[in-house]
Structure 1
Amino acid sequence: MLAAGLLATRLWILEPMTVNSESMEPAVPTGSTILLYKPGPILAGVHAGDLVVFTSPEDGHPALKRAIAFRGQSVAIEDSVLMVDGVPQLEPGVDGRRIDGTYFGPVTVPEGHVFVLGDNRSGSIDSRIYGSVPLENVRATVLWPPGG
């Protein structure tokens, strides 16, 4: 009975995942184990700043990124500064010196989608490449480490 309960928990509620990409460094280093909360997107929704796991449109594998913007919001990067609806965003986990001179957008997030970025902008394949991700493709939010 205990084994069935643990299996059910892993299948539908909590699942550990090992990060195999540098795209979220330094907040979540390669090789780290994170804890996914599978009902999170349904129960609590997805909010700006959340770490989310979704099926990558690039290769079909699970991808870990930070939710940045949602329906109707404008996203741009101006000389390494993230702008959402024209307002600069505070990003303590992003080293602006490593991405100095980076420009992107602006783009508008379509209905039912989320714009995601890796904290390690120079080493991340994210919404700048494959566009906004349908919210229905978000499989889980990250429960631990909190906020990455």
Structure 2
Amino acid sequence: MLSPLQKANFYLNMFGFFKVPFIWLSRPKILRLDEQAVEIKIPLKRRTKNHLNSMYFGVLAVGADVAGGFMAMSKAQKRGEKISLAFKAVEGQFLKRPESDVHFVCHDGELIDEMLDETIATGERVNRAVKITAICPELHGNEAMAEFMLTLSLKRL
């Protein structure tokens, strides 16, 4: 039988393949998924790097998208709710060149729970900024390579 993390990775791969092919092409892998945090890894390979041999900024945006969105999708699914999820705004700070596999970490589980509670109770769209930090643990430990603020928009269907 598959572990919850294996199921989540399978779901992410199928979602990417059938709904958002660029996610599938980036090959994200969920390393951690719990009530408070999610950690996604995207490998630095030929299709994810730029001419400077660092991760292409579009792939960094994909990683931030997956880290911010997957936790919300997972929490809604656990509650048995159908939720419309989108990102309305993005702000990115690129601090260093990520020259190895990049991990995208989001610790906003509590904020996402509050957003879900509000949209389920009111039926209205709820918008809040979630923070995603990109790190390269192999080369730089927990030092941020990039930081993203994504405005997550949730609405109960």
Instruction: With the length of structure 2 as denominator, give the TM-score of the two structures.
Output: 0.29
Structure with higher strand content: 1
Structure number with higher relative contact order (C-alpha < 8 Å, ≥ 6 residues apart): 1
Structure with higher helix content: 2
Instruction: With the length of structure 1 as denominator, give the TM-score of the two structures.
Output: 0.31
